[in-house]
């Protein structure tokens, strides 16, 4: 089975405080460490496990610039056979639909049985996979948390639905699936693994190679535009406890006893 | 202004809570244009859904077909594409069904797509200004959408408060005949119900809940020690289950368990909305997080910026001390 996994390079923000730039239209990115969007590792791992069972190769692809090569290499160090960078000045400023259109053009150039994405990226939209599938007229499922390859170019999949229940379906190939985190345990990648694939060439494709009309992607075609960032309204906000740890611990213990009772 | 539709999900003949929230969202886009509800399904269940919706929606479009008995997003997308007028604005809830349906629907309608909206600020001509969140809810963004060729918008559950509306005495319009035979590359087989684990976190008054901040498997014991001291249970957010440090049955959230403790200690939990959706009954929330901008501090009653790996053991000792004094 030939599997394409779409990945994205994102700033690591879960452990860091985010600051805005002076213009307020972006976050300060200089201090942030970039890496692959964590959910994408689950998609790559799943692809590798499928090809280990039934044969075939895994290709990872991203839309971006030179800096994005590092995430392709990381996923190649996991075991992906090929990495491909879709890059062109005409692509910059694309909205999500534009990104899906670029990926669609690349999928059409190849012969992939299965296209995977992570469940969502830093923008939290969970959008690209479903758009890509519709553009290709492939079946689609999101929040996929198990995949079994059946005979007759079909998969048996489950989706994670409310309360952690699993919605089980059959889906025809080729299809696009967005993979829920937790479906597997992505393998560890060390520096040595990344160095080992450091010199593998990564082909690039631009608008011309993808036969994409530059006016259909990029900033000019974008109909969804972020205007600014701001801090969420604080709601009622928490009462922040200050003081020594000893004082804080005493206060918290009293609050638990008062509000919940100690049995 | 284009016509606004709200796709309403339902289960066993009962409409989802989002029906009222979508009405609020539609009202923010255009207060002068009452939205139309769209429902799909079949049989008596669908009829009772339509009847309930007529209380709040002026018009209810129903698409009844046996193939739609279980909500398959691909079939429903095809049905909607056949009945929706060009340029329509379609609203749906941002949950497991909505995110399965909406992105592809926007492509097939040639409409703009924006997902997981928290607020709709204003409409100016064909430009709609909305609020989304990024980076796990740490920051909000104003986003401008050109809705001149229609829009598909998913709405965060709970973000739009239901309004008290006067009875709508709505009309049901049967659109079933406009939909031909529907086929899909995906076929629903069954739903496997989640297992209840060794500990039932829905039955505890106090939950010591851990998130990514617990850092590694061995540290789960630190939370368990505190829970033991309190007579509480340990629950968690998604990353802890993804890492296989705790069973799925311990997960609080929209894809985990809905819990209603009296006290909820959120330890190293950032506070993604999917997690908060599992917290019911307005518990007293005590949040401990290293990151002062973690979204959990927006909803917590009490917040502490500290390292939970150091704070929790001290809290455990303190609880033991209090028990000795009491005894």
Residues B144 and B230 reside in one and the same domain: no
Q: Do B314 and A249 touch (CB under 8 A)?
A: yes
For A36, the token pair is: 């692959």
Q: Do A140 and B302 touch (CB under 8 A)?
A: no
At residue B236, the pLDDT reads 97
At residue B182, the pLDDT reads 94
Domain A3-221 has CATH 3.10.20.30: no
Contacts of B98 in chain A (CB under 8 A): none
Structural domain contains residue B316: yes
Per the structure, the complete domain to which residue B296 belongs is given by 201-326
Last residue of a domain, one of B145, B178, B211: B178
Element (H, E) at B311: helix B308-326
Residue length of chain B:
327
What are the residue ranges of helices labelled H in B155-295?
220-230, 238-242, 273-276
Q: Do B319 and A253 touch (CB under 8 A)?
A: yes
Q: What is the mean pLDDT of residues B12-39?
A: 94
The domain spans of chain A are 3-221
3 state SS for B225-239: HHHHHHCCEEEECHH
Whether the CB of B287 is below 8 Å from some CB of chain A: the reply is: yes
At residue B197, the pLDDT reads 81
**Nearest CB to A164: which of B232, B242, B256?**
B256
Whether the CB of B217 is below 8 Å from some CB of chain A: the reply is: no
Question: Which letter does DSSP use for residue B95 in this model?
Answer: S
Residues B174 and B255 reside in one and the same domain: no
Could you state, in chain order, the average pLDDT of each consecutive group of 10 residues for chain A (263 residues)? 97 76 84 90 98 98 95 97 97 95 97 96 87 98 97 96 94 98 94 92 97 93 92 76 95 92 71
Question: Do the beta carbons of residue A9 and residue A62 sit within 8 Å?
Answer: yes
At residue B327, the pLDDT reads 75
Structural domain contains residue B193: no
Structural domain contains residue B224: yes
At residue B21, the pLDDT reads 96
Question: Do the beta carbons of residue A223 and residue B112 sit within 8 Å?
Answer: yes
Is residue B170 scored above 80 in pLDDT? yes
Q: Which residues on adjacent β-strands are paired with residue B172?
A: B60
Contacts of B129 in chain A (CB under 8 A): 227
Interface predicted TM-score of the whole assembly (ipTM), two decimals: 0.93
Residues B170 and B21 reside in one and the same domain: yes
Q: What is the mean pLDDT of residues B35-48?
A: 96
At residue A75, the pLDDT reads 97
pLDDT (tens digit, 9 = 90+) per residue, B84-131? 999 999 999 999 999 999 999 999 999 999 999 999 998 888 999 999
Closest of B162, B298, B115, B285 to residue A233, by C-alpha: B298
CA distance A135 to chain B (A): 7
Contacts of A227 in chain B (CB under 8 A): 129, 141-144
**Nearest CB to B100: which of A142, A165, A252?**
A142
Is residue B230 scored above 90 in pLDDT? yes
At residue B325, the pLDDT reads 85
Residues B165 and B264 reside in one and the same domain: no
**Nearest CB to B299: which of A129, A227, A235?**
A235
Provide the mean pLDDT of chain B.
94
Q: Do B134 and A123 touch (CB under 8 A)?
A: yes
CA distance A89 to chain B (A): 23
Structural domain contains residue B216: yes
Q: Which of B105, B107, B191, B193 to mutate to test the interface with A (most CBs of A within 10 A)?
A: B107
At residue A29, the pLDDT reads 84
For B225, the token pair is: 């020690």
Residues B16 and B134 reside in one and the same domain: yes
Alpha carbon distance, N-terminus to C-terminus of chain B: 70
Which of B 226-285 lie inside 8 A of A, CB atoms? 230-232, 238-239, 241-244, 248-249, 251, 254-258, 261-263, 265, 270, 284-285
**Nearest CB to A159: which of B96, B114, B311?**
B96
Is residue B179 scored above 90 in pLDDT? yes
Contacts of A182 in chain B (CB under 8 A): 238, 241-242, 244, 248
Question: Do the beta carbons of residue B317 and residue A254 sit within 8 Å?
Answer: no
The CATH number linked to B226 is: 3.40.50.1220
Is residue B206 scored above 90 in pLDDT? yes
Residues B47 and B126 reside in one and the same domain: yes
Work out the percent of chain B whose per-residue pLDDT is above 90. 85
Closest-CA residue in chain B for A185?
Answer: B243
Residues B171 and B272 reside in one and the same domain: no
Residues B146 and B234 reside in one and the same domain: no
Instruction: State phi, psi for A77 to the nearest 5 degrees.
Output: -65, -30
Is residue B138 scored above 90 in pLDDT? no
Residues B11 and B153 reside in one and the same domain: yes
In whole angstroms, give the CA distance from residue A250 to residue B288: 15
Closest of A255, A163, A256 to residue B227, by C-alpha: A256
3 state SS for B71-97: CCHHHHHHHHHHHCCCCCEEEEECCCC
Whether the CB of B150 is below 8 Å from some CB of chain A: the reply is: no
Residues B228 and B301 reside in one and the same domain: yes
At residue A233, the pLDDT reads 66
Structural domain contains residue B127: yes
Number of domains in chain B: 2
Structural domain contains residue B310: yes
In whole angstroms, give the CA distance from residue B89 to residue B77: 14
């Amino acid at each position: 089975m030939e599997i394409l996994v779409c990945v994205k390079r994102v700033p690591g923000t879960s452990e860091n405080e985010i600051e805005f730039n002076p213009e307020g239209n972006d976050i300060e990115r200089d201090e942030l460490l970039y890496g692959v969007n964590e959910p994408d590792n689950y998609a790559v791992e799943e692809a590798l496990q499928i090809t280990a069972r039934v044969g075939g190769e895994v290709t990872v692809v991203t839309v971006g610039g030179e800096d994005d090569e590092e995430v392709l290499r990381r996923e190649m160090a996991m075991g992906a056979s090929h990495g491909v960078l879709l890059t062109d000045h005409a692509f910059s400023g694309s909205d999500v639909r534009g990104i899906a259109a670029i990926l669609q053009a690349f999928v059409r150039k190849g012969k992939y049985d299965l296209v995977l994405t992570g469940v969502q990226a830093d923008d939290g939209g969970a959008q690209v996979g479903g758009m890509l599938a519709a553009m290709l007229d492939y079946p689609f499922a999101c929040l996929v948390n198990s995949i079994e390859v059946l005979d007759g170019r079909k998969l048996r999949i489950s989706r994670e639905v409310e309360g952690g229940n699993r919605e089980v379906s059959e889906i025809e190939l080729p299809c696009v699936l967005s993979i829920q985190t937790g479906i597997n345990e992505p393998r560890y990648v060390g520096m040595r693994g990344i160095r080992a694939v450091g010199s593998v060439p990564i082909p690039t494709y631009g608008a011309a190679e993808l036969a994409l009309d530059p006016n259909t992607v990029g900033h000019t075609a974008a109909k969804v535009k972020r205007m600014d960032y701001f801090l969420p309204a604080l709601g009622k906000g928490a009462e922040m406890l200050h003081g020594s740890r000893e004082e804080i611990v005493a206060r918290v213990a009293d609050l638990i006893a008062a509000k919940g009772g100690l049995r | 202004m284009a016509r606004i539709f709200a796709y309403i999900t339902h289960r066993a003949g009962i409409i989802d809570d989002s029906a009222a929230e979508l009405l609020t969202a539609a009202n923010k886009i255009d207060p002068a244009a009452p939205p139309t509800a769209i429902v799909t399904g079949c049989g008596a269940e669908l009829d009772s859904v339509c009847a309930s919706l007529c209380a709040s929606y002026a018009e209810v479009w129903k698409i009844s077909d046996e193939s739609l008995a279980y909500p398959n997003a691909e079939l429903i997308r095809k049905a909607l594409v056949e009945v929706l007028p060009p340029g329509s604005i379609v609203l749906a809830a941002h949950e497991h069904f909505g995110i399965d349906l909406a992105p592809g629907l926007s492509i097939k309608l040639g409409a703009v797509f924006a997902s997981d909206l928290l607020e709709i600020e204003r409409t100016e001509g064909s430009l709609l200004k909305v609020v989304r969140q990024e980076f796990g809810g740490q920051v909000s963004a104003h986003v401008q959408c050109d809705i001149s060729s229609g829009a598909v918008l998913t709405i965060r559950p709970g973000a739009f408060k239901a309004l008290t509306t006067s009875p709508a005495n709505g009309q049901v319009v049967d659109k079933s005949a406009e939909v031909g035979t529907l086929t899909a590359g995906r076929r629903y087989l069954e739903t496997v119900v989640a297992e209840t684990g060794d500990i039932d976190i829905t039955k505890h008054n106090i939950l010591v809940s851990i998130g990514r901040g617990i850092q590694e498997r061995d540290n789960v014991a630190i939370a368990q020690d505190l829970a033991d001291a309190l007579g509480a249970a340990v629950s968690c957010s998604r990353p802890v289950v993804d890492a296989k440090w705790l069973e799925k049955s311990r997960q609080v959230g929209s894809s985990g368990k809905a819990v209603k403790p009296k006290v909820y200690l959120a330890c190293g939990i950032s506070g993604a909305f999917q997690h908060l959706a599992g917290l019911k009954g307005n518990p007293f929330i005590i949040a401990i997080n290293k990151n002062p901008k973690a979204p959990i501090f927006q909803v917590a009653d009490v917040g502490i910026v500290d390292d939970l790996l150091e704070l929790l053991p001290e809290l455990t000792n303190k609880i033991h001390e209090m028990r000795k004094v009491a005894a």
